[in-house]
Amino acid sequence: MKAKERLIVALDVDTKEEVEFLVNELKDDIGMFKVGLQLYTSMGNEIISYIKSRGGKIFLDLKLHDIPNTVSETVRVLTKQGVDMMNVHSQGGFEMMRLAKETSLKTAAELGIEAPQLIAVTILTSLGDEEVEKIGYNKSSKEMVEHLGVLTKEAGLDGVVCSPLEAGIIKDACGDKFITVTPGVRPLGEDVGDQKRITTPKKAIEGGSTYIVVGRPITKAENVKVAAKKIVAEMENL
């Protein structure tokens, strides 16, 4: 896998002008654009067709969490729209994840397109041990991440979203082919902003991240293209 394919840029903006600028500047230098709730609720499916029309790939980060039928029907619609990667919440349960994956494979086969990578959120990295205990789980957040990672794999999904500091735990428990998508990455010497448990692009890949998600260090940079290339170079120099 080429280093640039590992870079997913979070498009955390909500105007068409900002999106158009970022997509056109970055599409040749990165692997995928992450579209989250902010942008999706602002632009709807237009954002998917726009990025695709420019030749970009899309990770739709909606963290679906509902009953199996509702999630799998939503996954069917999004597969048809040609999303390249999307996610559900593993806490929606084994059957929800299993059915979502089965539906996306079936839909893609019917259309003769490549099935999207379907991944799951384990424990949000914003939740520490104290919060995990408050919710009522009797395991630490790390143990929960491992437990839910294994459940996700057993349900047939392709990987998880996790902290770069947890990617090694997931690879050990689920194997090398199981993908890890990790936000909380900051290039060397960069402002960390509100991210707490962070690491650098190089350390993330060395620690077991398959893809890294980077937002503001690229989207708020003076020159977004240069910022993206610098991160790819950091990953190349392993």
Query: Which residues are identified as catalytic?
Result: 63
Contact present, 219 and 12 (Cβ < 8 Å) = yes
Size of the site for ligand C5P (CB under 6 A): 13
Site residues for ligand C5P, 158-197, by CB under 6 A, read 183-184, 193, 195
State which residue, 116 or 215, has the beta carbon closest to ligand C5P: 215
DSSP character string of 34-84: EE-HHHHHHHTTHHHHHHHHTT--EEEEEEE-S-HHHHHHHHHHHHHTT-S
Q: How far is residue 157's CA from residue 17's CA, in Å, rounded to a whole number?
A: 35
- Choice from 30, 99, 212, 214 touching ligand C5P (CB under 6 A): 214
| Residue 205 binding ligand C5P, by CB under 6 A | no
- Reference 199, options 175, 176, 231, 160; nearest CA is 231
The amino acid that residue 18 corresponds to is E
3-state helix, strand, coil in the chain (%, to 5): 50, 15, 35
Question: From residue 58 to residue 97, what is the string marking binding to ligand C5P with x (rule CB under 6 A)?
Answer: ----------------------------------------
Decide whether 99 or 162 has the Cβ nearer to ligand C5P. 162
Using rule CB under 6 A, residue 36 touches ligand C5P? yes
Interacting residues with ligand C5P (CB under 6 A) = 10, 12, 36, 124-125, 183-184, 193, 195, 213-216
